[in-house]
Structure 1
Amino acid sequence: MRTPTPRPAPGIIGHNRTMLTPHYCVFPPEGIMDSLLPGWPGCIIRFQTSPAMGARFAQALLIAPAGHGSAGLLDDGLEHFFYVQQGAFTLVAERRTATLGPGGFAYIPVGMAYALAATAAGEARAIWVKRPYVALPGVPAPGLRTGHRDTAAREDNGPRWRHLLLGTRDMSMDFEMNIMCYRPGAHFWCIETHIMEHGLVMLQGQALQLLGRDWHEIWTGDFVWMGPYLPQQIYATGEEVIEYLLYKDVNRDVSFGADARPGA
């Protein structure tokens, strides 16, 4: 008797939300595979975007078991930003030590060695952004910065508001990190088409995101990369406030070289 050929589960095609184009991506978290790096023994790194995709920065989810982290002090010639989602990390940089819990963040400037490790309390997770720093003549480079979303400046606009974590209207910074928040049913007021590039991680909730000519449903944990000039807009759906962490490059003029980097 012939054994029946296994069939895929109903809806396996229709429920695929993953999309990659030359101008944007939508990546649900379950499809992003683990990477292991020599400078981070025992840790898992899940890269969400990088120059291999066409982005001009790299972003990842760092997962560190209790007591694990970087292999001592690291300095790779890049600037770094960490936003803690779970657990707690101990940061050592510039002869300072800080503990970062959920909602805590740190910016490590280019040329500064740092060490980061999960505390003994349990597994810790952080969103990690890194990129080359673009210096501005006559403007000193930024220094080490730490903070928490609850004490960051907040900008309100009715049903929309944002927590200004890093870089807003600061010419020494070449990128911003903000947490954008929308009440259910709220939306951005226009379709954006700007020079800035984005990395978006959904921290909470459900939304419809316009990318180019297509609408995509995004949920908690999803990652979205948006290249320069991509038409984009977001609507908050579901029954809870949506929150997403947003990377944006800013404060630098256009470049005409082979490594042209957009800015604002």
Structure 2
Amino acid sequence: MPLSPDAHHSYAIPLAGHPPQTQIMTDRAVFTEAYAVIPKGVMRDIVTSFLPHWHSTRAWVLARPMTGFAETFAQLIVEIAPGGGSDLPEPEAGAQAVLFVVGGEVVVTLDGAEHSLTAGGYAYLPPGSGWTIANRSDAPATFHWVRKRYVAVDGIDQPEAFFTSDAAVAPTPMPGTEGRWATTRFVDPADLRHDMHVNIVTFEPGGSIPFAETHVMEHGLFVLEGKAVYRLNRDWVEVEAGDFMWLRAFCPQACYAGGPGRFRYLLYKDVNRHMALNL
């Protein structure tokens, strides 16, 4: 059964195409020792990648493990043309995935069951699940694909697959914020089976992260809606719908959402595991 899109939310997708020759080159793209900002204006046709065993598909690779930077995850925006998809989407047996649809419709098949996901649709796919994906519609489908190698723990079961949507999960207000800052949590934070979270963070106009978060979790943040100023390490940067921020561990971060509308982003972080000492 299809999961309906949330009529109250819009989701940014890449601009694609190419800018005209008359456009000046100045943009907000930056890569530093602590963070990167990949603005929507640089997500063009020329930087897409094609993937083995994917058909009529292209991807913008936003993050990949890099020694000395962020090492736990990869994040792609995948665009499947009508009739495209993959029967062998995941090349690594130990990789888990989250899919979050921002445009169009895809059908994910798992254990013989079909799950139709439209804008706002969310899937968690554990390692070794053997899923497939197809676009059976007459329009392109676009989704985020977050991949992380699962870290198994003796005595703790591997999580099972699940399918839901942005519309189906109520945001949880952060304490003391009167709802100005809330998180849509697709997984219970206390569920130690999961070693990553991919959530949606929402700020109402005037909402903020009022301190410089400095922590071990790595982040990928894709701005789904709105605009804000974001503190990254020593810098305040303006970000808007369609931008991606990539933060290594311990990069200080804060945020102020000035409006006029809500500011929302898809957030990855690694969680719930001991720090490996055998590097």
TM over 0.5: yes
1:62 aligned to 2:78? yes
2:235 equivalent to 1:224: no
Matches within 5 A, 1:34-45: 34-45=48-59
Paired residue for 1:76? 92
SS at match of 1:30: helix
User: In the TM superposition, what whole-angstrom CA distance separates every residue of 1:93-134 from its partner, at most 9, and x where no partner exists?
Assistant: 122211011111111101111101123241100011001100
Mean alpha-carbon deviation: is it higher for 71-80 or for 145-154?
Answer: 71-80
Displacement of 1:76 in angstroms is 2.5
3-state SS of 1:38 partner: coil
Q: Match for residue 123 of structure 1?
A: 140
Instruction: Return the alpha-carbon distance in structure 2 between the equivalents of residues 114 and 25 of structure 1.
Output: 31
**8 Å CA contact 1:167, 1:175 repeated in 2:** no
Q: TM-score by structure 2 length?
A: 0.84
**Residue 8 of structure 2: aligned partner:** none
Instruction: Tell me the secondary structure at the aligned position of residue 106 of structure 1.
Output: strand
* CA-CA distance at 1:71 after TM superposition: 3.6
1:196 Cα deviation (Å)?
0.6
Pair 1:30 & 2:41 matched: yes
* Distance in 2 separating the partners of 1:166 and 1:251: 12
Distance 1:72 1:228, change over 3 A: closer
With over 3 angstroms needed to count, the CA separation of the structure-2 counterparts of 1:147 and 1:85, relative to structure 1, is same
Q: Are 2:222 and 1:201 equivalent residues in the alignment? A: yes
1:16 pairs with 22, 27, 33, which one?
27
Alignment partner of 1:109 is 2:126: yes
Using the TM superposition, give the Cα deviation of residue 221 of structure 1 relative to its aligned residue in structure 2, in angstroms: 0.4
How far did 1:73 drift? 6.4
Separation in 2 of the partners of 1:16 and 1:47? Answer: 19
Q: Is the 8 Å Cα contact of residues 54 and 89 (structure 2) preserved in structure 1?
A: no
Q: 1:141 to 1:252 in 2, by over 3 A?
A: same
**Deviation, structure 1 residue 165:** 1.8
**Cα distance, 1:167 vs. partner?**
5.0
Contact 1:153-1:165 at 8 Å conserved across structures = no
Residue 74 to residue 252, structure 1, CA distance change in 2 (3 Å) = closer
Superposed displacement of residue 9, structure 1: 6.3
**CA pair 97-208 structure 1, distance change in 2 beyond 3 A:** same
Aligned residues: 249
Structure having greater relative contact order (Cα 8 Å, sep ≥ 6):
2
- 2:256 maps to what in 1? 235
User: Displacement, 1:145?
Assistant: 1.0
User: Residue 220 of structure 2: SS of its match in structure 1?
Assistant: strand
Distance 1:230 1:72, change over 3 A: closer
8 Å Cα contact 2:49-2:59 kept in structure 1: yes
Q: Map 1:69-218 onto structure 2 (within 5 A).
A: 69-72=85-88, 74=90, 76-77=92-93, 78-157=95-174, 158=178, 159-218=180-239
Q: CA deviation at 1:180?
A: 0.5
Who wins on radius of gyration, i.e. which is larger? 1
% identical equivalent positions: 31
> In structure 1, how many angstroms separate the alpha carbons of the residues matched to 2:100 and 2:57?
16
Q: Check the 8 A contact 2:27/2:41 in 1, yes or no.
A: no
Provide structure 1 residue ranges, at least 5 long, that are not aligned to the other structure.
1-7, 259-264
Pairwise CA RMSD: 1.8
Runs of 4+ in 1 over 3 A off after TM superposition: 71-75
